[in-house]
Structures are given as structure tokens and as C-alpha cells.
Structure 1
Amino acid sequence: MRVTVSQPTRRGTRRSHGVRAPAPTVASMTRLLPVLATAAVLLAACTSDAETPASSGCDPALAAWADAGFSGAIAITAGGETVCEEGYGDANTALTVFAIGSVTKAFTAAAIYDLVDSGALVTSDRVGDLLPELRGPVRDATLMQLMTHTSGLNGSAGADHQPLWRADAIAAIGAMPLAFAPGTDHVYSNAAYTLLALVVEEVSDSTYREHAMTRILDGFASAGFWDGAPAAVGPRAVGHLDDGSTGEAGDFAGPHWALDGNGGLAMSMPDLAAWTHALFTGGVVSVESAAAIADPVVDLGDGAAETPGWVARDASAYGEPFLAAAGGGGDVGHDTMVVWIPSEERVVAVASNGGDVSAEELMAAVGPALAAGDPIPAPDAPGGTVDPDVAAAIVGDYRLDTGGAYRVSDDDGLRIAALGADAVEVLFPPRDAAAADAVRTHERAVADLLAGETPAGREELAALEDEFGPVGGAEPAGTIVADGELRTYATLATGDGPLLVWYALDDEGAVSAVEAGAQPPALDLVTDGDAFRPADPAGTGPDVTVSFAAGVLTVTGPDGAVTAQRD
């Protein structure tokens, strides 16, 4: 499932650099942990003796997924030795460099532990004692609380790829109200890792970037920063956003404190795999610190736990414990995931740069079959080409009795867009009762945000009014899942006219992603006998079919069929 966005206004689009959560609840905190299970399975299967390796060591069946739309790179190691390295699609070499987003947090946690090894820090140090100019309630948070997202900080110090100086970052974080008292709860926070990077710079004899390069990334030739210096070295993957436009190319001049510490690093997947092995085997920090990084600290439920910079999973559901980190969803257009399985010292690192199959969708699709020892399944093959005369006969607008509508177009393949909350609910039905509950919770949170009933909402409304004029109200326009996050749409009445926006919120109601000036959510369609279905190689999109007859459009989903009349 892809969300189509036409020439959006990216008002400092705030996208999380990584997505991690204990359970599929709301917003962007939905995608990582289920995917990590299949990632672990894929890693085990790709290192089995039963497979016939390609020249790269990778299963040749993965090439079919590249044909279906996976564009990215894969690197797998066991015991520090290469098992698989390959690039696919636009990223046609394993040595292609990707922005790794929130996987950066694993490196920042390692930098803190490097200073613990030197005696400069202990993880119980209060951040306010280390950064005297820091104000606000976060001063009482410890380094461990910052590393494990229990400081009470929520959100980011600034928007991605907007200039943020060191002093401004400290002031912004100090002004943030805490979601809870430090150490009493858990919420994912980019700002926490910005503070950790500021601590590294304060305590070390160099800048955060210099410390990262000389102490944490030394020996990994491609590693560096996506924006600014020292820069990552090697051919760079061009990221693609939801609307098909290219992402940030790495030429942002800075200052870079919105991303430093929490989402700014870049490297190739072989280097990420090699670094992960080095980290957990004592090659980056001491063996004692590596063990502390791997040790579960905060129970997230369902066999998951927060560790400094990583999420740990026990063996209860997947056979053996592993740790993982993931990042993506930012305005670079890359997604990255790395998994460490201590048994046999196995690592898998996967990145994607857009296309119809993301790294997580690839893992979700092929992992279960590999677990059973079955061949890697082929992607869901698209249907036949839509006859131009057939397409021309069905293009147009179709209206529901409840007020919403569908717009069918054939500009570059057949596409159906949903206009209105009722139309979205039918075309993008939740997969189960838990997902439906999550949608309702998320919609209530977005409604509160746009009514200005929360501090985040009042800040958001002020930003909207600065750009678009007075906001007179918000009309709900439906919720979908895209790129692993819940996105709730609304039509705003602004001084510039109606404005369609979508929001993804975290569990505390903070904005983790927003798009202003979006087009309605849409699906590309392929033929399926006498009807049409979503173009969905990985089988992760909505379970619906669309048919046309005598000026009537019918959407059939899990709850039955709904019809709309052509205007």
C-alpha cells in the first residue's frame, strides 16, 4: 500500500527517524517488533546449509523481489564472516550508502559507553550535572534513562533538515514538558538522544561528530554523516518519498543538531553488519559495556525490552533471543534495519530506498516461509495490463450514499483515491479488531491535537496558522496504515482555503510525522479476473477488491460490499 502525495507542503515535516514499540498501538510505534521476528528468521535461513548461494552468497530467489519493487541492499554475516552481500533495484551494489536513521542511536549509546570505559561517565549521572546550561525538569534524568527512553522527554528538539544550533537545541529540550517523571514510564524520544550527543561533546575532548568518527566508527570505511562532515563515503542511494519525489540528498549545510545523536549517520550495509558484530564482541567498547548494552532494562511486554540503543527480544516466541535497531521514515527516503543474534554471532542488515517493497515488507513476506524450511515465496504477481478502453470507461468520480467519494484515474496506471472518512474506511479496512481499536484511539488523539486541547496541539495550530492563516476547524478524513504507521487525515478550513493534512502521533500524543497539502490516500490497481485489487507484491496492503458495472463502483472487503454511484 502506498500513499500518493502530490507536491506537498513540507512544513518542516517531522518524521521519526526510527520506529520501535512493544505492540501495535498507535501512530508510528507499530511496525518494528513484528518485523524483527521475521528478520531473525530470515537471517537464520540465509545462513543454513540447505540453500544454494548465489555469487553474492544471497538466495537467488530474492532477485524476484527486486523485480517486484524491492530496492535496497542486504548484508548478512555469521561469526564475523560474510554470508550474503547484495544490492537490488536502484541500489545496485552492496556497497551503496544509506542514511540509517534511528539506528544512529545505537552508535550514540556506544559513544556514551566508550566514555564510561574511560571513566569520564557513569550511566547514573544526571544530565543536568553534565550540561550546566540545561534547564527544565529533564535535568534530573540520568544517562540510562535517556538511553532507554524513560526520561519523560517526548518528540524531537527540532525538525529534520532545518538548522538547529547547539545552544538552541539545549534551550528547546530544556523547555519541553515531561510526559512523566524520569524513570516512571517509557516513550520513544529523539530529543533524549540529542541530549546524549550533547553530553558526548561536553565530556570528550572533541565534538560529537569527531568522537563518533575516531572512537566509534574508526575502521568502517563508508561510515560517516549523511549531511555535513565527516561525510559517509561511497555511492549514495537516492531515496524516494511517498509521492515518488526524491528525498534529501545529503547537502543540508546545517547546523545539524536536529539529527545529530538520533538520526544523522550513514553507511553501507556490509559496514553496518560488521560494526554490529564488532560492538557486541568487544571491538567498539569493552566486553563489559557490550554486555550492558545487550542487557534488557525496560520491559516493553510481549517478550520485548528496551536496552541502550536497541530493542531486545527473548526466546519465548521466536526460538532464540536477539537484539535489533531500525530507522527510517524520514525525509531522506531510506529505511534500515539491523538484527544481532548472539548464537553463532549472526547479523543481518537491510536497507531500502523506496519502491513498492520496503525492507520491512520484504522481511514480513519471506520470513514465515523460511522459518518452515519452505522456499522463499514469490511476490504477489501483478495482474494483466488494464485495457485502455476498459480504463477509459471506468475513470471518473463515484459517490457513496454516506457522502464520501472515490476518484478513479488512469494517468500512469489505474488508481483509486478515497475522499472522505467513510470512503477511506471502506477502501483501507483495519485488519483485525486490535487494529480497529488502534485506529479509533489514534483518530481521537488527532482530533484532540487539531482542537488545540493538548500542548502539542496548540503548538501545531500555531505553526499551521503561521503558514496557512487562521484554522477554522478540522473535518475527519479517515485513517490508513502507510510505511508502518497510522496516518489520520483531516481537512482543515484555513485562511488559504481547504487543506488536507495527515498526522502520525506517538503514544503520548506528540507529532511524529505530518504532511500538509497531501492528496487523498490512494491505491494502484491491477486486474484480478473481472475485478481489480491493490498492486501489493508483499501482500501487506488492504484486503479489498474493486469492481465496476453500469456506472456502479463496488468495494468488497472483510465486512462485505459497499457501492458508489458514478457522478
Structure 2
Amino acid sequence: MLAVTAGCTADDPGLDRPTGTANPQCDGKLDAAFGAWARAGFSGAVAVSTGGRFECLAGYGTADDATGSRNTADTVYSIGSVSKAFTATAILRLAEAGKLSLDDRVGKLVPAVVGPVARATVRQVLLHTSGIGGSIGADDQPVDRAGAIAAINKLRLAFPPGTDDAYSNAGYTLLALIIDTVSGTSYRDYTRTHVLALPGGAVTGGFWHGRPAATGPVAAGYLDKGEPGRRPTDFAGPYWATEGNGSLAMTTRELATWARALFRGTLAGPEPARLAGDPGFPVGDGRSHTLGGWMAFDAEVYGKPIVAIAGGGGDVGHNVAVLWIPERDQVIVLSSNRSVLTAEKLLAATVPSLVAGNPLPTPTAPAGGGDPAAIAGTYRLDPEGSFEVTVEGNRPRISAAGAGAVHALFPPRGRYSADDLREHEKRVLAVLAGRTEEGREERQGIEAEHGPISAVTAGGTVVAEGEMRTYVTLTTRDGPRLGWYAVDEHSTIAGAELPTGPPALTLVPVGTTRYRPDDPTGTGPDVTLDFAGGKVTVSGPAGTTNARRSG
């Protein structure tokens, strides 16, 4: 469908759109499809261009509950890890200008960087094959330039450079330091002048925190339970924990325009454009990291070669996904400001149709029925845990506590198997037992604040936002604290949240007593819950689990 639409159309009053979200700059069929996803929970913006012409610029849902403002294609979002594509473009431009070689060792370019990390090459850092893992600090941790270098110098390589891959925020912070050192100006100034600036002088976006800031109305972000995310003014910096790996912000329209300029060669030239889209290091399942910071998908995956990138999440509440289809000269950008149905989930549900040029799928409405208030309560699986059902605004939400309950409610799906989840749990427990240097540092930080850790208990592993997360309870002087950790195959901490609440799902009725996860994209847990006879039966791919209602 996207390949044959004839550009923007006038608003069609016959379309069934959510109140206040009519989008006259969007083809009617596209607007109707995205409107259906909006009714299922998507809140954000869409930009679709083919051959440089926008056929859809649209917004859905509320940008800010406090003001009632609506999302539009000109609402500003934090783009999170999509910032890596801009950092990589800056490096490729510096290589084109002869300021560096992709095969230079990073210690040569930034002499203050020493130790094992210094031996990695620029190419390896771009491709996440340097052996550098993790991050140098939390997103809202004040880190100055000297602190960033000191943190990088303390890193140890997870593997010899060039022999494996490990996704690394710290690596892209290192690339920002290289830009800051060799460009003759600051990282931010070079990014604004040589990467954000389009031919003709227009500047696409800016920085989420600090200056130069993105201009335009900023979307408020909302987290899992509707809590407000962090705003650009919430953090005074310095910002080196996210520089290079997640610090940019812009509108959906701007991001689509920038992506096309990159891949068409008008932004940085034909060679950077080629390197940004060509497979650089294979990571399995027909996917490869590119030197431009993107992920390239072979034709075997979706029928045509495509390039994509996504980012966001964390404590901001924004999520952004970008798709480039070279064969059609087409860019699709989705941005979201609520976790109910993120841009990345929506892209995962629609990408086969987008690539094939077919009409977009739309979510199926729940069957209805059920009495949410009647199922509220605690259901026990003693001794393996419990389920807790609460009702918020007539919507039931179930949380799982304990390994047995988590395993039942969140069975593996997609490319992760039950064995993968078990191995991840083992790695997390080993890290928290202090068997790695990073793990020992993590323990020391927790104990400095809460006292000695006397026990670490695994509470099950889930797949969320494309990564495995193992829940653990850490018993300290201040009492038990629930958190989750995500580690890669090299036992490097890729993400963590401590403290946190138990993993939970919002449910929708599919009968009088039966419920399913509120998951219109079909990418979440494949389970059905039947509340009858004073118990809940959770049915999934591996069988059924029964929990008796208590009280």
C-alpha cells in the first residue's frame, strides 16, 4: 500500500478516527490504519515518505496530559539510541575529510584513553565488535568529559577486538570523545554543524538535555503505570553519560527527512551513505550491524533488504523506530510517548506489510465480557510465588512474584528460548555474586547505600523491550529490594533497574472468565488466563499453571 499511495489527501469525514486526531496530511487509508492502532494504545507520531514526498505526516493521542496538547509530526521526542546513527555519521564524515581512519586505534586519536580499550579500532567500535560493553553511567548521572575518559579507562574488554559483538553505549560515548578531539571543535558543535544540518541549511533537531536544544513543542513521556517520564529540564548535566549514544531529540518529520538525506548521499556523500546501509558485521538471523550505527536485514528476513534502527525507553518514556526500504526510496518513522504500545512494537507488528507494500494490519478488538472487579485479589502458587490482580480504571492488571509465577506468566517467545532465559539467569546471579569486576563494582555500590548484601534470590526472567531481564531480590540491611538486570552473553550489564516493581501485564477479556494480555501487536507473552472456581489457570506454550485465590 505504501508504494502506491498518491501523496497527501484531504481529510475524509467518513473515516473512523479517534476524536481530535484527524490528519489531513496523511493518506486516508494510512490514517485509518494508524488510527486503529491509536485506539489500541499507540500515542505518538508517524512520518512516511517515498521518493522524498511525504504521504503521511500524522499525530495520534495526547502529547501532554497537563495541557491537553496533541501529538503531531512536529512534536519533539527524545530519539534515544537512534542518536548512534548520527554519531556514526559524524565519524564517517571525519574519515571522508581525512581527519581519521576507520582503522585507527582509539588510543591514537584520544591519547588520554589508555588500557585495553585503547587498542580497539574506530571500525570495531562502530560495529560493536570492540569488546567494550555496557555504559559509563546512568542516563541522568552527571559525567563530565574527564569523568567519561576515566570511566572508559576502567573498562575491561569482554573479548579480543574484532572477534565477537556486544552492543555498547560506552563505545559510542568513546566515539563522541573522538569527535570532540579530532574535529577541531566540540562534539556538540560538530554534530550540529556537520550532521544535524541538511543541505540548504535547515537543522534537524538538537539535544534532549542542554544546548543546542531541539526546537518545537516537546512530548511528555509516560512510563508503565502512566507515571510521567523525565523532561529535558530535569537534568542539569554534564551529559557525557549519554553523549554519542542517546542524547539527541527531534520531530518525526525531521528524522524522516534526515534519514533519507543520509541514505541518498546528499547529507554526507555517497560513501558514508553506502557504509551506513551495507552489512558490516553479521549477528545472526539475517541481521548485521552497519558502520552507520544501523541494523541491516538481508532479503531473506522480510523479502527485501531493509535497514532499521530503534531507541528510547528508560526513564523518559519516549520510543522511536526508523525503517529505510532502499528499493522504494522509502522512510518510515514512528515515535511514541507511552509504553502501552511503543513505536518499536508497532513497527514489529507492521514491518512485514510495510516492506511488502501490503495494507497495514490492524489490531483485533477484544471480545468483551468479564467482570474485572470479581477477579481482583491474590493467587498463590506456594512455594513458587503468587499473582496479584488489581483493577485500574476498570482494566485488570496482573503482576507476578517469584520464579514460578514469572515463568508461567511470561513464557519465552520469538528468538529467545527457555534455555536462553535459564542461561541469562545464571549469568545475572554470577555477576551479582561478584564473579566479574563489573559485578563487584555493582555490589559495592549497592552495599555503600543499603548495607551488606546477605542474599540474592532469582525471581524469574522475562523478555521486555527486546532484551532478557532477570528479576532478583537482594536482601540488605535495609530489607529486601526487588530489581532486574539485563546482561549480554559476555556477562556485561546492559541494563538494570533497582528498585522496581514486579513484572506485570494489563489484561483484556476474551470471554466471561477468560483474559489475555492487552497486546494488540501480538509480540508479548502468549498466555490465556481463566479465572474460575476460586483459582486462576494460566495456559501457555509449555502447559498450564494453577494458582489458588487466597483470602
TM-score after normalising by structure 2: 0.89
| Alignment partner, residue 170 of structure 2 | 191
Q: Distance in 2 between matches of 1:410 and 1:261?
A: 41
1:169 pairs, out of 144, 148, 162, with 148
In the alignment, which residue of structure 2 is the partner of 1:428?
Answer: 410
- 1:353 paired with 2:325, answer no
Q: Secondary structure at the match of 1:489?
A: strand
Q: Kindly tell me: are residues 533 and 178 of structure 1, through their superposed partners in 2, closer, same or farther at Cα, counting changes over 3 Å?
A: same
Which one-letter code corresponds to 1:360 in the other structure?
Answer: E
Number of the residue aligned with 1:105: 84
Could you tell me which of 370, 390, 396 is aligned with 1:409? 390
Partner of 1:93: 72
- Quote the RMSD (CA, aligned, Å): 2.2
1:560 to 1:179, Cα distance in 2 relative to 1, 3 A:
closer
Distance 1:375 1:183 in 2: 42
Tell me the equivalent position of 1:543: 526
How many angstroms apart in 2 are the aligned matches of 1:358 and 1:145?
31
Cα distance in structure 2, aligned partners of 1:276 and 1:395: 47
Within 2, Cα distance between the matches of 1:374 and 1:433?
Answer: 25
Aligned pair partner of 2:2 in 46, 53, 62: 46
Corresponding residue for residue 342 of structure 1: 326
Q: How does 1:32-431 map to 2 (within 5 A)?
A: 45-49=1-5, 55-58=24-27, 59=30, 60-91=32-63, 92-218=71-197, 219-251=201-233, 252-308=235-291, 309-368=293-352, 375-384=359-368, 386-387=370-371, 391-412=372-393, 413-431=395-413
Find the aligned partners of 1:482 and 1:383 in 2 and give their Cα distance.
26
**Given the alignment of the two structures, is residue 478 of structure 1 paired with residue 440 of structure 2, yes or no?**
no
Q: Please report how far the alpha carbon of residue 93 of structure 1 lies from its aligned counterpart in structure 2 after TM superposition.
A: 0.7
* 1:7-32 Cα distance to aligned partner (Å, 9 max, x none): xxxxxxxxxxxxxxxxxxxxxxxxxx
User: How far apart in 1 are the matches of 2:338 and 2:315?
Assistant: 11
Contact 1:404 1:421 in 2 (8 A): yes
Tell me the distance in 2 between the aligned counterparts of 1:423 and 1:119: 57
Q: Between the two structures, name the one with larger relative contact order (CA 8 Å, sep ≥ 6).
A: 1
Partner of 1:9: none
Distance 2:191 2:492 in 1: 29
Please state if 1:526 is matched with 2:515: no
Q: Secondary structure at the match of 1:83?
A: strand
Query: What is the distance in 2 between the residues matched to 1:278 and 1:373?
Result: 22
Q: CA deviation at 1:374?
A: 5.8
Seen in structure 2, the aligned counterparts of structure 1 residues 407 and 293 have a Cα distance that, compared at 3 Å, is: closer
SS at match of 1:316: helix
1:455 aligns to what?
437
Distance in 2 between residues matched to 1:313 and 1:548, nearest whole Å: 42
Q: Provide the C-alpha distance between the structure 2 equivalents of 1:287 and 1:373, rounded to a whole number of angstroms.
A: 27
Q: Is the 8 A contact 1:75 1:94 kept in 2?
A: yes
> Residue type matched to 1:261 in 2?
G
Shift of 1:511: 1.7
Question: In 1, are the aligned partners of 2:8 and 2:55 still within 8 Å (CA)?
Answer: no
The answer to whether the 8 A contact 1:138-1:182 is kept is no
Question: CA separation in 1, counterparts of 2:384 and 2:324?
Answer: 50
**Hey, what's the Cα distance between the residues in 1 that align with 2:273 and 2:325?**
14
Query: 1:550–1:291: structure 2 CA closer, same or farther, 3 Å change rule?
Result: closer
Q: Give per-residue Cα distances to partners, 1:297-344, cap 9 Å, x unaligned.
A: 212233222211122222233232222222122221111121222223
Give me the whole-angstrom Cα distance separating, in 1, the residues matched to 2:379 and 2:461. Answer: 20
Q: Summarize the Cα distance change of 1:179–1:365 in structure 2 as closer, same or farther, 3 Å threshold.
A: same
Counterpart in the other structure of 2:16:
none
Distance 1:516 1:533, change over 3 A: same
* Other-structure match for 1:566: 549
User: Aligned with 2:459: secondary structure?
Assistant: strand
Unmatched 5+ residue regions in structure 1? 1-44
C-alpha displacement at 1:517, in angstroms?
A: 2.2
Using the TM superposition, name which of 280-289 and 201-210 deviates more: 280-289
1:29 match: none
Shift of 1:411: 4.3
Q: How many Å separate the matches in 2 of 1:524 and 1:267?
A: 31
Q: Distance in 2 between matches of 1:221 and 1:400?
A: 57
> Offset at 1:205?
2.2
Please give the alpha-carbon distance, in whole angstroms, between the structure 2 residues aligned to 1:178 and 1:454: 12
Q: Is the 8 A contact 2:304 2:355 kept in 1?
A: no
**Structure-1-length-normalised TM-score:** 0.87
State which drifts further: 295-304 or 250-259.
Answer: 295-304
